[in-house]
Amino acid sequence: MDSPTVILSDVKACREALVEVLEGAKRILPFTGAGISTDAGIPDFRSPGSLWTANKPIPFDIFCAHKEARIEAWRRKFNMDDRFAGARPTPTHHLLTSWVKQGRAQAVITQNIDGLHHAAGLNEDEVIELHGNGTYAKCLNCGCRHELADVRKHFLTYSVPPECESCGGIVKSATISFGQAMPGEAMARARHLAKSCDVCLVIGSSLVVYPAASLPLVAKAAGARLVIVNREETGLDEDADLVLRGEVADLMSPT
């Protein structure tokens, strides 16, 4: 039978428990959500008053079907980018980078689209982006990459986003919208790492967005310890071995 979840909220106790779990770990799997980037100034999705909830996300099928939806999506995207242009990786992003570079973790799995794990020094193959990346765009038809600066220039000049110059396809930010297929390769690699880690450490995710949130459960089912760092309850607290409740910056700072 599984042992019951241990829930800690005292900062010192949380830090000590984390050190103890990680000390014995050979393969740590960090799994990050929007809560790792709030200290960088980027609001998360579900906290009260979030900009993201004020603007109901545009589902993928609506984006594809309606030019007006695409115009609105790009208008919002450029607004957001202007607001968060100054965001830089936090000490927690850098800490995770150091684990990968030391070989304690093979890669970081993230639901984030902000590119801050790359900005903290991880290479392309050291970050698994489940929901894509908002720092560039892609053609939905031929998959070729488009730079945001070019899309913006066209948008400002013609008030509509450009079509792909190679194939005439729809150009979309390289993120995964609601209703859009998950990136198969990223999911497969994430599942593989989940099955072979010994600690899965979830940082700043509400763990309610599936199939991403199934990965910590894959790790747990394969025998890993599941540790959740968050300021509030998450969708998987009951499945965790250890829940550390508090601020990411406080709990993740090296002791």
Among 89, 97, 114, 118, binds ligand NAD (CB under 6 A): 114
**What is the distance between the alpha carbons of residues 183 and 185, in angstroms, rounded to a whole number?**
6
**What is the distance between the alpha carbons of residues 106 and 189, in angstroms, rounded to a whole number?**
11
Q: Give the tokens for residue 74.
A: 């790009």
Among 46, 154, 189, 191, binds ligand NAD (CB under 6 A): 46
Shortest distance in whole angstroms from residue 1 CB to ligand NAD:
28
Shortest distance in whole angstroms from residue 145 CB to ligand NAD:
19
Q: Which of residues 115-144 bind ligand NAD (CB under 6 A)?
A: 131
SS3 34: helix
SS3 140: coil
DSSP tally for the chain: helices H, then strands E: 10, 10
Q: What is the 3-state composition of the chain as percent helix, strand, coil, each rounded to the nearest 5? A: 40, 20, 40
Q: What angle do CA 239, 240, 242 make, to 5 degrees?
A: 155
Q: Should residue 76 be labelled a site residue for ligand NAD when binding is judged by CB under 6 A?
A: no
Query: Nearer to ligand NAD by C-beta: 162 or 245?
Result: 245
Do 211 and 167 touch, CB atoms closer than 8 A?
Answer: no
Q: Which of 94, 131, 146, 154 is catalytic?
A: 131
Q: Should residue 237 be labelled a site residue for ligand NAD when binding is judged by CB under 6 A?
A: no
Query: Nearer to ligand NAD by C-beta: 38 or 106?
Result: 38
Q: Should residue 247 be labelled a site residue for ligand NAD when binding is judged by CB under 6 A?
A: yes
Give catalytic status of residue 94 as yes or no: no
Residues that bind ligand NAD (CB under 6 A): 33-35, 37-39, 42, 44-47, 52, 111-114, 131, 204-206, 209, 230-232, 234, 247-248
Q: Residues with catalytic annotation?
A: 131
